[in-house]
Structure 1
Amino acid sequence: MAIIKRFLLLICLSVLAAPAKPAAAASATQQQDFYGATSGLLQDHVQEGQVNYRSLQEDKARLQRLVQQLAIYDLRNAPAAECKAFYLNAYNLLVLWQVLEHYPLPSVMDVPGFFDKRQYRVAGENLTLNQLEKQKLMATYRDARVHFALVCAARSCPPLLNTAYLPDRVEEQLEAQAKRALQDPAFVRIHPDERKVLVSELFKWYRPDFLRQAPSLAAYINRFRSTPLPPGYRLGYYPYNWGLNDSRK
């Protein structure tokens, strides 16, 4: 009996002495699973910023697993960079998921409440796409580059990045996305004959976000261009094309 007691005591002591799995290790595993799977999915179904929704529909189970991961992702004690990257990916993945729920469709504007009514479970909270954008990203980070990273499934949206936003690279990726959009002649349209520049209506809808970071819209745009906009040109907006960003159309 004494031998058995001694054996049980040794087991208890060994369990107590074993080092606890650090929170950072658990977070690293969570990150690897989520961001790696997100990158793999986007690389398989996004070409030149547009989405092959037909092939994505055939691969819907992978996207569904990511939506399930979004719901339970643990952001407690997560650094700001991880939260920022997570919410950017959450928005883009949930847009894709909601498109597939109604696919085929001409435009997300044909789905009532697409942005402001339908709620999803995101890191333990129920949020709409608008709440993700305005509360979790813009109100927290006040970074207008976010508007070039969130893709609302419209043809006039900035191109969708075909890899995940990563916690250790999110600032670099946002910078690259802003440059990619603002140097694209289809996104910023210069008309020398009329001495005017036409830009996306994103700049009209979110004007205060851009003007918090620059004295004018032109000054903000020039921050990301290798060739500045011609001085003295009038700035206007071209109509937003809400047609679905489907690469097969």
Structure 2
Amino acid sequence: MKKITILIFLLSIQFGFSQSTADFFAKADSFFKTHVTNGRVNYKNIKKDPALLNELLDMASGISVSKSKPKTYQAFYINAYNLAVIKGIVAKYPVKSPTSIRGFFDKTTYTLGGKKTTLNDLENKILRKNFPNEARFHFVLVCAGLGCPPIISSAYKPSSLESQLQRQAVKALNNPSFIKVKGKKVQLSQIFEWYKGDFTRNGSEIDYVNKFRKEKIPSDAKISYYPYNWSLNHIK
């Protein structure tokens, strides 16, 4: 009888966990569909009615995800990062840029997955450190600046994460505003300068970019980096 009781208890915990993650992804999807259009966020409307954003971050604070289920883990923290960024902007909106908010990336903390973290630590210690070969994170973690690849109007989900990561990488690396090619000269986003090691594990930066491009960049192209645009990605 005791064994049966323990089994029921463990199953109820597992069921509750799966339900909470499923609810989180579903509600996050609804939130992004409502408030994101063409890569821009309607911070003004969210500030007027932050109930769903606050509910999602409350949910995220108590959800536990394991690296043993990498797609669930990655999808959860990608969404959590993007939601936390939006929360940080909404708290100070109207604002021109995330960089005009002191400590936006490295001081302000959010409780996600049961632990307090900053945006920088979420990106670098929770995602990049645990999955060092996944450079596509840089095309889905959106820092609220226009220099980032655009935020999408849906949630990242475990079942579709691979195709979503691939789609966003292809979209960014074929965008002439993100990868600026002129003959044998190529200007890359400063993301490639700041995180060069992520993109050069198996070759050069050009090798990495060409994996996703329809029109390949010459391997001997001269690389430079254009200034990052920190202007806010808001719907005006």
TM value normalised by structure 2: 0.92
CA distance in 2, matches of 1:190, 1:105: 32
- CA, structure 1 residues 77+25, in 2 after alignment: closer, same or farther (shift >3 Å)? farther
Match of 1:204 among 189, 193, 198: 193
CA distance in 2, matches of 1:58, 1:78: 39
Query: Matches of residues 31-180 of structure 1 in structure 2 within 5 Å?
Result: 31-75=21-65, 79-142=69-132, 143-180=134-171
Conserved in 1, the CA contact under 8 Å of 2:32 and 2:155? Answer: yes
3-state DSSP class of the match of 1:83? Answer: helix
Is 1:218 the counterpart of 2:209 in the alignment? no
Report the alpha carbon displacement of residue 69 of structure 1 after superposing the two structures with TM: 0.8
Match of 1:189 among 166, 180, 185: 180
* Identical amino acids, percent of aligned pairs: 36
CA distance in 2, matches of 1:124, 1:52: 28
User: Root-mean-square deviation (CA), in Å?
Assistant: 2.1
Conserved in 1, the CA contact under 8 Å of 2:66 and 2:73? Answer: no
3-state DSSP class of the match of 1:198? Answer: strand
CA distance in 2, matches of 1:162, 1:198: 28
CA distance in 2, matches of 1:77, 1:152: 24
Q: Which residue in the other structure is 2:232 paired with?
A: 244
**After TM superposition, what 4+ stretches of structure 1 lie above 3 angstroms from structure 2?**
18-24
CA deviation digits over 1:14-47, x for unaligned, max 9? x96x955454432331122100110101011111
CA distance in 2, matches of 1:25, 1:131: 29
Code of the residue aligned with 2:144 in structure 1: it is A
- CA, structure 1 residues 86+93, in 2 after alignment: closer, same or farther (shift >3 Å)? same
Code of the residue aligned with 1:165 in structure 2: it is Y
Number of equivalenced pairs: 233
Where does the alignment leave 5 or more consecutive residues of structure 2 unmatched? none
Where does the alignment leave 5 or more consecutive residues of structure 1 unmatched? 1-11
CA distance in 1, matches of 2:203, 2:65: 35
